[in-house]
Each structure stands twice: as structure tokens, then as C-alpha cells.
Amino acid sequence: MNENKDSIFPIGEKTAPDYFTGTAWLNVLVPKDETGNYTIGNVIFEPGCRNNWHTHPAGQILLVTEGKGLYQERGKSARNLSKGDVVVIPSHVEHWHGARKDSGFTHIAITNIVETIAVNWLTAVTDEEYQSCH
């Protein structure tokens, strides 16, 4: 994937296809630390890739570092994202994020953890839901 050839972090491992439509990579920059309170990962999405609807029991912060992406909370309009954007996701808010169909997208995800749970995965974002954001 040459869109991220200048990325400051290595590409990482492919994400689980059960939770993503398309191809994405995750490089865990800071694994769950000794406090057990958070993890930090660099996520690279190919154009058109998005993750499933999901929630975070203790919230999440996204720091957009490259490309063009989308973020949507259930029942709200999607938000366009680009380099320099920050998304603060409250606890238990159902949402998804990913790349626009015409651009790769990279963000650093700071994910809070409670009782060993960082994320609750839900259903896939349908093609119709995704297309309605463009």
C-alpha cells in the first residue's frame, strides 16, 4: 500500500475481517499498560474500508494523521475527516469510522479500557449506509 509509504509508523498487522469491510492494518503502538486503562494504535484504512458499528465502554479519541475519512454516530449525519482532525467519542456511543471511497485514511486511536473491555463490536455498516455518506 503506497499511500502510506511516508507513514512515521510501520504498517502493522491486517485487522480481523469480522470487524472491517475492506482492508485495514493495525499497529499497536502502546499495548494495554500496567494500569490497564488504555491502548494506542495506528490504524491504516485502504480507500473504501470501514469498521463495523461499535461502542467503547470507556470512550475513544481519534487523531487523524493522513487521508480522508468518515466518522458517524448512529442516528446522526456522517462527519468528514482529514489530517489534523480530532474526534472525541463518548462512552457507549454507537459509531463507525473509515476511509472515504476515493482516499486512504490513517488515524491514531487512543482507546480507554474498563474491566478488560476496549470495544463492543456490532453489525457491519451496510453498503447503503456507507454510500449515503458520500
Output the pLDDT for position 1: 43
Closest by alpha carbon to 111, among 60, 54, 43? 60
Please, is 2 exposed, middle or buried when counting C-beta atoms within 10 Å of its C-beta (0-12, 13-18, 19+)?
exposed
Q: Is the pLDDT of residue 2 over 60?
A: no
**Pairing between β-strand 20-21 and β-strand 50-51 as defined by DSSP bridges:** antiparallel
Query: What does pTM read for this prediction?
Result: 0.92
pLDDT in tens, 26-74: 999 999 877 778 999 999 999 999 999 999 999 999 999 999 999 999 9
* Inter-residue contact 29 to 40 (CB < 8 Å): yes
Distance of CA 39 to the CA centre of its chain: 13
| Options 2.40.10.10, 3.40.50.10540, 2.60.120.10, 3.30.590.10; CATH of 2-131 | 2.60.120.10
